Structure 1
Amino acid sequence: MLLLDLLSAGANPLLALEILERTASTPRVQQVVQLSLAPAFLLSGIGAIMNVIMSRMIWIAQRVDKIEDKLEDERTPKQMREHGWLMRRRKLAQGAILFSTAAAVMISLVIGLLFISAYITAQIGTLIAMLWVLTMALLVTGLGFFLMETRLAARGADEIDSF
């Protein structure tokens, strides 16, 4: 469609033909698809992790709402402790979601740039490598937040003072 848009807009026909020539190479397209499989699988894994984190986040939010529906003077000391515990868990889960989402965005950029790099003359391998490393750093940070949230959950609301 882009090629037709270029031709109909009166763009340089040589540019349109050059784009067509670069994108017509089946082996080149196959190679790019193969290169993008690993990042695509990573994106799928990040989505699965985020699904688990969101399930926990929903449970936390529902429990917080249940406690907050009670008037403050009607809450028991146990519910007050649990509320603080849940709020800590919520912050950690939000951090996990934030960094995991950022990792998903970065890996999506990597996939897009892999396809673009096959059809441009500029060498962007260093940029792709840097984005891959950034993706890993963001993912590890998100998983760190998730680890802290699960450890806090495992300790329970009654043991949060020792955490």
Structure 2
Amino acid sequence: MSPLDLLAAAQPFAFDLLERTASTPRVQAVVQQSLAPAFLLGAIGAIMNVIMSRMIWIAGRIERIEEMGEEAHTERCRRELQWLSRRRRSAQRAISFATAAAVNISLVIGFGFLAAYIEAKIGSLIAFLWVLTMVLLVTGLVHFLHETRLAAMGFGKGD
């Protein structure tokens, strides 16, 4: 099949797509329906910003301790490094799950627009992605809660 044949075959599809998306009220309705997921995406971004700030502090503290050299590491430094490593793992998991939730909610928005212009019924897929987004977000928040509890308890318990 030549490139011209492909263009000729795609032409009816392109015109059909243009005709379906030309309706301003339809586009406005889809945009309105995507507002809640878009606000959720913004909230996930804000949460990730807070987690990343904490992660940067943890990584900086680990670097400062490791720069002291192995001979300067006391038992207290070793305990702090273990505590910081646990915090870093929790923060990394929180970021991973929050990122997955952000990707998922972006798919919800994209599929929402697609659903307005195709005949296939993908409402169940969109609902599943929405629920999966909530599961991922809650899982990320649980890991963030764990990290903040570790921070609040401190590493020096029993000193």
Q: Which range, TM-score by smaller chain?
A: over 0.9
Indicate the residue corresponding to 1:147 in structure 2: 145
Matched residue count? 155
Provide Cα deviations, 1:126-157, integer angstroms capped at 9, x if missing partner: 00000000000000000000000000000111
Taking only the aligned residue pairs, the percentage that are identical comes to 65
Of residues 16, 26, 45, the one that matches 2:43 is 45
- Aligned equivalents of 2:87, 2:64: Cα separation in 1: 16
1:80 positional shift? 1.2
- Cα deviations by residue, 1:6-61 (Å, 9 ceiling, x for unpaired): 9x922354322211110011111011000000000000000000000000000000
User: Which of the residues 99, 103, 106 maps onto 1:105?
Assistant: 103
- Larger CA deviation: 114-123 vs 13-22: 13-22
Matches of 1:41 and 1:128, distance apart in 2? 17
- Are the structure 2 counterparts of residues 120 and 84 from structure 1 closer, same or farther at C-alpha, using a change threshold of 3 Å? same
Alignment match, 2:125: 127
TM-fit CA distance, 1:71: 2.0
Query: How far does the alpha carbon of each residue in 1:110-135 deviate from its partner, in whole angstroms, 9 at most, with x for none?
Result: 00000011110000000000000000
Gaps of 5+ in 2: none
Whole-Å separation in 1 of the counterparts to 2:46 and 2:151: 20
Instruction: Confirm or deny that 1:92 pairs with 2:100.
Output: no
AA matched with 1:101: T
- Partner AA of 2:40 in structure 1: L
Normalising by structure 2, report the TM-score: 0.92
Equivalent position SS for 2:117: coil
